[in-house]
């Protein structure tokens, strides 16, 4: 039976990868990745010599058909993202859905868990985590206002991602939407410049603007009291 592995990769520090992830990537026939340049750096660090193919949100239907055909022929494939766990706020979820739809139980889909920016940020937030909601990335333009209205109305702990290009705008919008509700902002998780900011959205923004605004960000919002 062919296998399709969902393999978590480091979110910053290369040592974040698990032993099982390395072993899995060494044994599969092909590794699917977002960016082959990023993937090759990781693979080289662990002496993994396997062919790689790109699969990302812009991949055409022909690429998906190619992947499905490899599985049909009995190939064992692995899916990785540039950082973290594939198929979480990631085009990998669409591919996994296609595999399930086309093969059902004829292809074994196996998670190889590991680093996750969502869980890493949540674990250091100090907020209640028995119930939380992940919102992915806010829309760039259309639907952005609705996004923050939904965030404000949600009663449980919330986690979402934002890029360096829009984090200041997001914190301003968040301050307007949630007022004094507590926020934790994690920057560059597991990297050299890893920083955690705590306070209201307004306070976090003020402290962030004192530093260099770089990297990817994870925002965690405390539940409504």
pLDDT at 143 over 80: yes
Beta strands across the sheet bearing 132-134: 132-134, 157-162, 217-221, 183-187, 195-199
Structure letter (DSSP) for residue 16: G
Range of the domain at 10: 3-112
131 and 177 within one domain: yes
100 and 153 within one domain: no
pLDDT at 57 over 80: no
189 and 107 within one domain: no
188 and 142 within one domain: yes
**33-37, 58-62, 171-175: which has the highest mean pLDDT?**
171-175
| Percent of all residues in the chain with a pLDDT value above 70, rounded to a whole number | 100
Helix (H) or strand (E) holding 110: strand 108-112
Mean pLDDT score, 89-116? 93
Domain boundary among 112, 143, 174: 112
125 and 106 within one domain: no
CB 114 within 8 A of CB 69: no
Domain of 150, CATH number, reads: 3.30.950.10
Domain of 104, CATH number, reads: 3.40.1010.10
3-state secondary structure of 177: helix
Domain boundary among 86, 112, 138: 112
The number of folded domains in the chain is 2
Domain boundary among 50, 84, 112: 112
Mean pLDDT score, 180-205? 96
Mean pLDDT score, 106-129? 96
For residue 225, the tally of other CB atoms under 10 A from its CB is 7
């Amino acid at each position: 039976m062919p296998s399709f592995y969902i393999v978590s990769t480091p979110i910053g520090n290369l040592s974040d990868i698990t032993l099982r992830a390395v072993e899995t990537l060494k044994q599969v026939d092909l590794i699917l990745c977002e960016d082959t340049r990023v993937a090759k750096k990781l693979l080289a660090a662990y002496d993994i010599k396997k062919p790689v193919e790109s699969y990302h949100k812009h991949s055409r239907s022909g690429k998906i058909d190619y992947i499905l055909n490899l599985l049909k022929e009995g190939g064992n494939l692995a899916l990785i993202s540039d950082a973290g766990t594939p198929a979480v706020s990631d085009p990998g979820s669409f591919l996994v859905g296609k595999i399930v739809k086309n093969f059902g139980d004829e292809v074994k889909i196996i998670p190889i868990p590991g680093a996750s920016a969502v869980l890493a940020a949540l674990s250091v937030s100090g907020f209640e985590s028995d119930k939380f909601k992940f919102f992915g990335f806010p829309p760039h333009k259309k639907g952005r206002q609705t996004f923050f209205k939904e965030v404000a109305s949600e009663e449980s702990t919330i986690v979402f991602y934002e890029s360096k290009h829009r984090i200041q705008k997001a914190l301003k919008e968040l301050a307007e939407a949630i007022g004094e509700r507590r926020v934790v902002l994690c920057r560059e998780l597991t990297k050299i410049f890893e920083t955690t900011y705590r306070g209201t959205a307004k306070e976090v923004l003020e402290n962030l603007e004192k530093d260099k605004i770089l990297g990817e960000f994870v925002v965690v919002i405390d539940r409504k009291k």
